[in-house]
Amino acid sequence: MNQYIIVIIILFAGCTYNKPTTQVTDIDGNIYSTVTIGNKIWMAANLRVTRYRNGEVIPLVTDSTAWSKNLAGGYCYYNNDTTQTAIYGLLYNWYAINDNRNIAPEGWHIATDEEIKTLIAELEKEPSNANKLKANGLGGYRFYTGGTYHTRGFNGYWWGATKSFEIFDWSPRLFSSLADVQRNSYEAGYGLAVRCVRD
């Protein structure tokens, strides 16, 4: 009898341990739902963290001139409107993404080029998966010169580790070529959103 109980406990513990994570929490305590597309688990909402993984602050840059000239990590609220954060998350420049203090939550990372290609292939195979990415807001972007804001609610633009990618409100397709923002001193100043991938 006791042997059966032990076996049941082991099986239950194993099932509980292997249960897929449906949420992720960043260092600020923000909680994000997740979505599985293909064999990858993605954040289902845009990142809104204001600190690197080691606890150091990512500077908030609201002034348009300062944003255009900034060569260090920075983030902003779309249109400097904090009420939009819960839906659209934050926009970050490339310097924040590329910082070795790491902007991604523990156990997560910025999408690689290969992961973006796989995501594009999965969306082409099953277009309805696009709705999983769109459900929590397409946050637009901040232009690298002048610091102006564009296309919130219509387009989603995200940083990847080597390429940027985008999706349109009216399309189930995902693109990398149209949003291949360069990492030079000018275009690195774009403010794009972030969707992390689980390690």
- Could you tell me if residue 143 is left (phi over 0), alpha (psi between -120 and 50 degrees) or otherwise beta? beta
Q: Does residue 163 sit within a domain?
A: yes
Residue type, 197: V
Residue 35's domain comprises: 22-198
Q: Does residue 5 sit within a domain?
A: no
For residues 156 and 190, the answer to whether their CB atoms sit within 8 Å is no
pTM, rounded to two decimals: 0.86
Share of the chain above pLDDT 70, in %: 89
Q: Does residue 84 sit within a domain?
A: yes
**CA–CA distances in Å: residue 32 to residues 83, 133, 185:** 17, 13, 31
Q: Does residue 100 sit within a domain?
A: yes
DSSP designation for 21: P
Mean pLDDT score of the chain: 87
- Could you tell me if residue 140 is left (phi over 0), alpha (psi between -120 and 50 degrees) or otherwise beta? left
Residue type, 48: R
Count how many domains the chain has.
1
Q: Does residue 4 sit within a domain?
A: no
Q: What pLDDT band is residue 18 in, cutting at 50, 70 and 90?
A: very low
Q: Does residue 1 sit within a domain?
A: no
Q: Which residue has the higher pLDDT, 133 or 198?
A: 198
- Strand pairing category for 141-142 and 149-150: antiparallel
pLDDT tens per residue across span 93-116: 999 999 999 999 999 999 999 999
